[in-house]
Amino acid sequence: MSVPHTASEPLNIRGMRVVEHRFTVPLDHSVPDGEQITVFAREYWNPEVAAAGDLPWLLYLQGGPGGKGNRLLQFGGWTKAASRHFRILMLDQRGTGLSTPANRQTLAARGDAAAQAEYLTHFRADSIIADAELIRTALGSGPWSIYGQSYGGFCALTYLSFAPAGVKEALITGGLAPLWGPADRVYQATFARVAARNAEYFAKYPGDRELTTRIARHLDTVPEYLPDGSRLTPGRFQMAGSFLGGNTRMDGLHYLLEESFIPTPSGPRLSDTFLAGLWQLAERSTNPLYALMHESIYGQGQATNWAAWRVLQSRPDFRPDAAEPLYTGEMVYPWYFDEDPALVPLKETAELLAAKADWPALYDVGQLARNTVPVAAAVYTDDIYVDRDLSLETAGAVKGLQVWESADFHHDGIADDGEGIFTRLLGMVRGGPEQ
């Protein structure tokens, strides 16, 4: 089907040509004439390389769920490498950015929690990829190249499962999703890797072990409040473990902690600087779909039932009341919807999504076993978000998928050497060095 599409006039930004696109697509792709929503995308190309019409498209599928497309200020990192070959399309996946939004403000208009949960069943990778295929056709592109980072890699596997004819080649970084099995095994694996990363961190900054415990126990008894007025609890403090998912970002945790306590007339308190920095890590007002939909990305024919929370019960070292609590990773727990003001109105909706048992399949294992699209994936040995062993299991199930494994990077490898990683993967799918 054709979809309504509008495009802005090109804008010049620091050597880039930028065009804004808006597409009208079905909320439910099985009912093409039903309710419609808007999906926004922004196009970037380098006029010094070629005219836009002479460059093939590269669709970038970003991490998430619930992440909007990157807002580029100039070409750099992987986009610098990609702009030598492609027109880059940054997609605001449905519900994010300038696409029809899905948050506590807009979801209230859907009705009760059941209506909201039903609406959100159309915000997983299968719908995102169906959007992408309509967008590809609207842009007049033949099979295009796709690049998936983290959750974007999950979406790339869905694309290869259900619309492989639309894909010329696929690059994936830190995003080989498990193709089967309950969500529990994802968290059993990632809890182990996060624990190892905690040990690595505290070995590098041994003084932060005592400081971390001091902050957690301080929060047990002394009310401290984040900039949005919500109370900082030990569990929310542990979310600072998101720093551990990167190479250079790990040191950012130390810099956050070093400004934690300050003396006040009423005794030691957590500084405004520390509370503001922690709030940026712990709040979900800018990406509520991450919390709402996170475990659903592992749901296929079964309920997730708060898998991370259930697995946590077998990992007392991660409990907020542990003698020396560890930092957590990307896990989402039910109490998020009690403590984060952006999520509190969505608590019942989240419970219904966690209990949903009839999620459709996100992957066609048979089609992936017959895959003919060139695919190259970067797998990071110590990735705390997408487990290395589960990633290699998936790689073995996709015909022709080439793996480059590296212990030099963590989940955000493209933030460290995006240009080098992208160039390497592009060369792999094209049968040699950069072309």
What is the set of active-site residues?
150, 358, 411
**DSSP string of 313-351, one letter each residue:** TT-GGGSTTSSSPPPP-S---TTHHHH-TTTGGGHHHHH
Copy the structure tokens of residue 114: 């059941």
Q: Phi and psi dihedrals of 359, rounded to 5?
A: -60, 135
Q: What is the DSSP letter of 231?
A: B
* CB crowding 217-248: b at 16 or more within 10 Å, else e: ebbeeeebebeeebebbbbbbbbbbbbbbbbe
CA within 13 Å, CB half, 215: 28
- Pair 372, 399: CB distance under 8 Å: yes
Closest CA to 197 of 417, 44, 411, 373: 411
Amino acid at 256: L
Amino acid at 327: Y
Length, in residues, of the chain: 435
- 5 membership: H or E segment, kind and range: strand 5-7
Q: In whole angstroms, give the CA distance from residue 294 to residue 412.
A: 18
Closest CA to 19 of 55, 38, 1, 44: 44
Neighbours of 382 (CB within 10 A): 17
Q: Which residues contact 237 (CB under 8 A, 6 or more apart)?
A: 215, 216, 219, 278, 282, 320
Q: What is the DSSP letter of 360?
A: P
